[in-house]
Structure formats: structure tokens, C-alpha cells
Amino acid sequence: MPTPALLVLDAEPLPRLGRLTGRAHVEHTDAKGLAERLPHADVLLVWDFTSHAVRDAWPGEGPRPRWVHTASAGVDHLMCPELAASDTVVTNARGIFDQPIAEYVAALVLAMAKDLPRTLELQRERTWRHRESQKVAGGRAVVVGSGPIGRAIAGTLGALGITTALVGRTARAGVHGPEDLDRLLARADWVIAAAPLTEQTRGMFDARRFGVMQPSARFVNIGRGQLVVEDALAEALAKQWIAGAALDVFESEPLPADSPLWQVPGLIVSPHMSGDIVGWRDELGTQFVELYELWAAGEPLKNVVDKQRGYVPGH
């Protein structure tokens, strides 16, 4: 049996694939070379998970890889109708980012409740100004997205004494369906967007949804930038429909220097870093190698994405 051809869509630093020496013929490409090399690959590792190159190159002529793995939780950057309709198996990096993102959300909740951004501003100004802060224990949160990341967020917020409701694609034990979302938003102190990007979730946080929330509510998005209508969020903050917000993901990334979002009062902007802890790339590489060993042995793969839904089912 010939050695399988593994094509890597590169990003720096490159993945460590030494364990696959002699077990895979590894080639590397950038976005420009992907279309030419794609027909010759048995496996595609999308290491550059910010690129849309797969979505652009996949509809071309010739054979396609039997398996595509993306080093990210979301798959919206690579999914296209031709890939969704194919026999190619798609897997993602489910499990790597859950707890780091949950900790980041908890940090944002505490930072907003305790007014830490203002404290740092006053320190830089050498201004002593006593204020009162908000108690988080006893509050209510809604986490939209009931997958592993959403569940990790709910557990971590629970440790802070926050009662958390999960909202998923369908209602089931411990998870509310979309029909409950507006009712839950109207009572929530914290609203966390952690859903995958699908046609059902795109733009779900719009002017109407921000209008449903309490004036004291705060909103956090660590899911996908396209879940939020950014102009509507900016207006909601400017008109004090909600008390504050934090965005780690944006419709356009990197966020342009001239974006008005940098200047919106009450908005914390961070550069898509909520899941990126020290050593995270090594964890992603190790996960892929373990999946490759399953694939090469003919064993069932983990983290298989439902290509129609856009996420790993079963949660």
C-alpha cells in the first residue's frame, strides 16, 4: 500500500509531525498552491484555519482528499456546497479550546463586573476614584451554544455562583431550544455567544435581540463574529440598551484600525485569543497526529463534523 499523501495548508509556526515520519508523505502549500496540489492529496490538514482557501479551491477539477482536518473548532471557513456534498470526512479540533475559552469568558465577566478596565484607565491617569462594583454570585447567564465550549463556560460560570441556562439547536435534557431564547435573554445578567456559525445563527444577535435584554445586561461573543450585527451592538451600547459588551471575534479580522468598534463606549475588544493558551499549537498538532493514526489504521475518527449542520453532532 503506498504511503498516504498528507497536504498541509501552512501557517507559522508549522505543525510538529515528526511522529508521522515514514507513515505519511507530507507536503506543504500556501493558499495560492492549494488548488494545484489538492487532487494529489489523500489527507488535508488545514493548519491555517483563518484561510478561506479550501472553500475557494475545493470546487475545482480532479480527485479530492478522503479526509480534511481543520485545526479549529469552527468549520465555516472551509465549508462549501461541493465539500458538503462529497464523501470526504471532515474533522475539527473539538476539545482543545473548551476550558481555555471558559476561563477567558469568566475573566471578562469578572473584569466587567468589577470595572477593571476603568481601574486601569484611572491608574494610568494617577486618579484615585473610589467606586462600587457588581457581585457576580447569584446572577443569571445565558450561553447560546450547547457544545463542549458552551458547557465548559456554563460550568466555569457556575463555579462563580452564576446560574446558567444553555441554549442549543434543539431542546433536550439540560438544554433549552431556540424558542426559549428571548425569554431567557430578558432575565439574563450575562449573555454569552458560543454557537457555531450556520445559516440559522448568522446575525442572530441583532437590534431586536439587544432590545430584549435588560439595561443592566452584558454581552460576550467568543463564537463567530458573524453571529452579531456589529452596528446593532454599537447602537445598543451607545443608547445604553445594555450595560457593556466584550468581543473576541469579529466579522472582519484583523479588526481594521479605522473600525468604529475600537471607540465604542463600554466595549472590550480582544484579538480572537480566547482559546489560545501557551502550548495550544502543540496540542493541536498532537491531536491531529492521534487522529491520523486512527485513520491510517482504518479506525473510526473522532470529532467528525456533520457537514450539513456545520458542527460535530451529539451535544
Report, as an integer, the average pLDDT of 280-296.
98
pLDDT of residue 314: 73
Count CB neighbours of 128 within 10 A.
Answer: 7
Q: Is the pLDDT of residue 115 over 70?
A: yes
Which residue in the list 28, 66, 272, 315 is annotated as catalytic?
Answer: 272
Q: Is 82 a catalytic residue?
A: no
Q: Is 224 a catalytic residue?
A: yes
Q: How is the beta sheet containing 140-144 ordered, strand by strand?
A: 163-167, 140-144, 190-193, 218-221, 244-247, 267-269
Which residue in the list 82, 121, 253, 290 is annotated as catalytic?
Answer: 253
User: Which residues fall within 8 angstroms of residue 110, CB to CB, at 6 or more apart?
Assistant: 116, 136, 160
Coil/strand/helix, residue 15: coil
The candidate with the shortest Cα–Cα distance to 222, out of 105, 300, 309, is 105
Which residue in the list 94, 151, 224, 281 is annotated as catalytic?
Answer: 224
pTM (2 decimals)?
Answer: 0.95
Count CB neighbours of 92 within 10 A.
Answer: 25
pLDDT band at residue 315 under the 50/70/90 scheme: low
